[in-house]
Amino acid sequence: MSDAFGIDFGTTNSVLARTTANGVEAVPLDPGLPLEWANLEFDRVLPSVIGFEGGDPVFGWAAKRQRTGKLEAVKRLFATEDSVTIGDQDLKVEVAAAMFFRHIQQQAAAAGIIAKLNRAVVTIPANSRGLARFRTKLSAGLAGMEVLALINEPTAAAMAYAHAIGQNQRILVFDWGGGTLDVTVLQAFDGVFIEQASKGVQRLGGLDIDDAFRAAVLPQIPGSADWDDEKQGLFRLDLERAKIELSQQDTTRIPLPGGGYHQVSRALLEESVAALVQRTREPVDICLRDSPGRIDHLVMVGGSSNMPVIRRFVSDIVGVEPSTGVNPMLAVAQGAAIASGILQGTVTDLDFHVGTEHALGIVVHNDSSPPEGSFSVLIRRNTKYPARATDSYVPAMDFQEQVNVQVIEGDPDKPIGHEDNVVLKDWDIDLPEQRLRTDASFTVTYEYDLDGILHVLVRDQRTGNVLSETEVAVGAAEDRTQLPLMRRNVDSLMTVGATPKPRISAEAQAVVRKARDKVLPFVADDDRDTLEKLVTDLEAAAPETEKDRTEALEAELRNHAYLLW
């Protein structure tokens, strides 16, 4: 049985897990973990932080300890931003995230877990919209990793607790991590987990808890208003650790940048985050309303769910005590690894189905003024993936040459312009000329795939000709012709400082550069795997084996001589 891998790509922390013949486990990825954090069960957690040090990219704790010039919570940028600045580097958001996925690959190889991590299930918040889902999959792909599926984090979490869940039982998953809150109701039947209702909040998590706690503590510390950025950064990291410690004890001390300590209590923490805790009630109530009935299991995962105040709060609403037995920080990744095993055929006693968290609809618009009212729905909320729906439309006027189509994701009960409604794509479609409106009808088909990425097909209803075909989830992302350039950007950035200074001769180094620059970016996957192994073998060669390994790589390169010009 080959290992199957799952990645919890989190806002503040990420985890890699694998399913083996002996079960499922999360694996350590960050040798730079400080001892005081290891004692808090962070030994298998990789901070989702990217930085640069002396021109070289750094990740995890090496980046998190930097005072300035680092990027935290890259995942939060997927929904809104196209580029980001890290230190003095301006990068596309997808490139920055791809660097992080590549780092996970490299750390897994360095730890001897797998020579090359090239396939995995990746988790995503249930409330993520199409663009964020697409960008997650694209970023992993740019790192050289095939995403077997994007699975909603609550579904993955429930699968991690499968051993404790009986047949035909209902589970409410409360997933409160560093950046988002997801609440999902699932039905477990004969080992299959089926999403029945899901609701979330996109920007509510541990980062917001840290901000609220800091706002309560800083006024108690004389002189804190005069701290520079470096001292603020030191204090923020120590305050985050204190927050975690207060889930296990009533009081703790925070070291101060200028020396000394400041004592804080769980009572102060709970008072400072009371408003945030109250905000978690609405998605729970909505899920219970959308899928009424008894809840048999309450699964609470994500670091923020460790706080006693939130565990009591949600338990009181649901009427069930939280399940135990799985580390809440690791559960999502472990469930993703189980899903990976299911998809690869190594796990046969479980299965899963996921559904849409938002409705998908359309506005067909006939003039230049902005549309009003609500959008019409093609795929309803909580529809199981994959989903397909078709509807027909008629132009407003005879002999009309174009219509404007807007693909919208959100809530059809709210006006089109409401903040909960997002226009995924807005474009004009040319209609067949010289037709009466009654003879110019066209159909629009939505197809939502297993990754939650939307494909749209528009056909002339009379002839069946395709008027438009597009992958809407790309949104404002790069044209596909730009993707090879983005991949080369990732390769270039991750090559800097990523390997030790070469021990091989200048001649051997030249052969390696020829392979990397002229051949590897352009060949098929099978050939790429062969070449990458030969390159790796040569780079690691001892003096007595260098000549033979150089000749082996040169022989393989001759098979691709058409690229060597």
Q: Identify whether residues 257 and 338 lie together within a single domain.
A: no
Position 60 scores a pLDDT of: 93
**R_g of the chain computed on alpha carbons:** 26
Q: Identify whether residues 36 and 127 lie together within a single domain.
A: yes
Q: Identify whether residues 58 and 178 lie together within a single domain.
A: yes
Q: Identify whether residues 188 and 40 lie together within a single domain.
A: yes
Q: Identify whether residues 37 and 109 lie together within a single domain.
A: yes
Mean pLDDT of the chain: 87
For the chain, give the percent of residues with pLDDT over 90.
52
Query: Cα torsion for 195, 197, 203, 208, to the nearest 10°?
Result: -90
Say if residues 5 and 344 touch (Cβ distance below 8 Å).
no
Position 152 scores a pLDDT of: 87
Say if residues 175 and 181 touch (Cβ distance below 8 Å).
yes
Which of 307, 154, 322 is closest to 243 using CA atoms? 307
Name the domain boundary from 232, 260, 275.
Answer: 275
Per DSSP, helices labelled H in 273-410 are 274-279, 281-290, 308-318, 331-343
Which CATH number belongs to the domain containing residue 268 in this structure?
3.90.640.10
Q: Which amino acid is at 121?
A: V
Q: What is the pLDDT of residues 283-293, one digit of tens each?
A: 999 999 999 99
169: enclosing H helix or E strand: strand 169-176
Q: Identify whether residues 516 and 558 lie together within a single domain.
A: yes
Position 223 scores a pLDDT of: 92
Q: What is the pLDDT of residues 468-518, one digit of tens each?
A: 998 765 444 446 678 888 999 999 999 854 443 445 776 887 788 788 767
3-class state of residue 77 by DSSP: helix
Q: Identify whether residues 133 and 97 lie together within a single domain.
A: yes
Q: What is the pLDDT of residues 90-99, one digit of tens each?
A: 999 999 999 9
Say if residues 212 and 339 touch (Cβ distance below 8 Å).
no
- CA 482, CA 488: separation in Å to the nearest integer? 10
- CA 473, CA 491: separation in Å to the nearest integer? 25
For residue 500 the two structure tokens come to 């030790």
Q: Identify whether residues 214 and 322 lie together within a single domain.
A: no
Q: How many residues does the chain have?
A: 565
Q: Is the residue at 489 inside a domain? A: no
Instruction: Rank 80-89, 310-319, 375-384 by mean pLDDT and report only the highest.
Output: 310-319
- CA 110, CA 238: separation in Å to the nearest integer? 29
199: enclosing H helix or E strand: strand 192-201
Which CATH number belongs to the domain containing residue 138 in this structure?
3.30.420.40
Q: Identify whether residues 268 and 286 lie together within a single domain.
A: no
Say if residues 79 and 127 touch (Cβ distance below 8 Å).
no
Phi, psi dihedrals of residue 49, rounded to the nearest 5°: -130, 140
Residues 6 or more apart in contact with residue 91 via CB below 8 angstroms: 83, 84, 85, 99, 489, 493
Position 502 scores a pLDDT of: 44
Numbers of helices and strands, H then E, in the chain = 16, 26
Is residue 307's pLDDT more than 80? yes
Q: What are the DSSP calls for 385-439, one per residue?
A: SSEEEEEEE--SSTT--EEEEEEEEE-TTS-TTSTT-EEEEEEEEEPPSS--GGG
Give the residue numbers spanning the domain of 197. 4-204+280-353
Question: Can you give the pTM of this predicted structure?
Answer: 0.75
Looking at residues 57-76, what average pLDDT do you find?
87
